Homo-oligomer: A and B are copies of this chain.
């Protein structure tokens, strides 16, 4: 295993310490609620939540950096609860984070659809409501169209759309919207966003020290999950144009992208994210984005904004994911609103 670490056991804690050291706007807090998960750390904005602002809390297994800690800051999350690598955060940790950032207007929990996450966030939400009297709404993210159920999930997996949910709902919260409205916006974004990923190599967790699966030198995993879960099929390596096309075919087959539209958003206006899974050079993500932009132009879909880079990773996996999010004027305006986090920053 070739990684920069001190011990596999301290991988997450050391990384969080670095995150906090690099960004004074963030603080790493150790939970101490007496509940399960006591002592498990979470990341919060250093500044207290503005009274009356709805707070957003997300989290999940580590190994997907910058998700979620890198999205804590003005305009996105108020706190993030990292689990160990590929391991859910625990209820006590979620309770502590929710308590820490609630400013009286309630908390929206953003949860990626993995069985462990869903269960633990539900318990955390119940604790927050019952023990702390905090109004909590949950937004479930399940955007990955590759498989219906998987080794880690009942239903679709939650992946790249999380960035869009956190950015757009976070901007709405920053504007002073109420709890139900912020949660509804988060659900709307999830309903309008779809993702698909392709892996060239497996990732290696610090605890295992070996790749999670083996891919022959001339094959790729089509529809891979962000923990290395199997996708739809193995296939021979393909060109960037072919990879982009198979991902877009899968995404655009979804009813939400039917050109007839029908919702508030125009199916022809999308924000596109071409996301690296950890070990893929930025140059190759731009090669893929070029193919995406070419293909979408040919199908009458307009890219109104884009992200190209590493946003939702899978440790050191070589691979890329594609997310398309339909947007209406309101969603686009919220996307463009100022944000100041380690991983997304503009307008301030």
Q: Which residues of A contact B (CB under 8 A)?
A: 2-7, 11-12, 14-19, 21-22, 62-63, 65-66, 70, 200-201, 217, 220, 237, 239-241, 243, 278-291, 293, 303, 306, 308, 310, 313, 315-316, 318, 320, 342, 345-348
| Structural contact, B62 and A15, CB atoms closer than 8 A | no
| Residue of B with least CB distance to A14 | B287
A67 to chain B minimum Cβ distance, whole angstroms, is 10
The 8 Å CB contact of A19, one of B217, B286, B315, is B286
A331 to chain B minimum Cβ distance, whole angstroms, is 19
The CB with the most chain B CB atoms within 10 A, among A12, A15, A310, A347, is that of A15
Other A-B pairs, 10, CB within 8 Å; known A6-B239, A18-B293: A2-B237, A4-B285, A5-B284, A14-B240, A16-B286, A21-B306, A22-B308, A280-B316, A281-B316, A308-B342
| Structural contact, B282 and A21, CB atoms closer than 8 A | no
| Structural contact, B2 and A318, CB atoms closer than 8 A | yes
| Residue of B with least CB distance to A319 | B4
A-B contact pairs, 28 of them (CB 8 A): A2-B201, A4-B200, A4-B243, A4-B285, A5-B287, A6-B239, A6-B241, A6-B287, A12-B283, A14-B287, A14-B291, A15-B283, A15-B287, A15-B290, A17-B286, A17-B290, A22-B286, A22-B308, A62-B283, A63-B283, A65-B286, A70-B282, A278-B279, A279-B316, A316-B318, A345-B346, A346-B348, A347-B348
A62 to chain B: which residues have CB within 8 Å?
Answer: 283
| Structural contact, B289 and A22, CB atoms closer than 8 A | yes
A199 to chain B minimum Cβ distance, whole angstroms, is 10
| Structural contact, A290 and B14, CB atoms closer than 8 A | yes
Bound complex: CA A285 to CA B220 (Å) = 27
A284 to chain B: which residues have CB within 8 Å?
Answer: 3-5, 15
The 8 Å CB contact of A4, one of B240, B293, B347, is B240
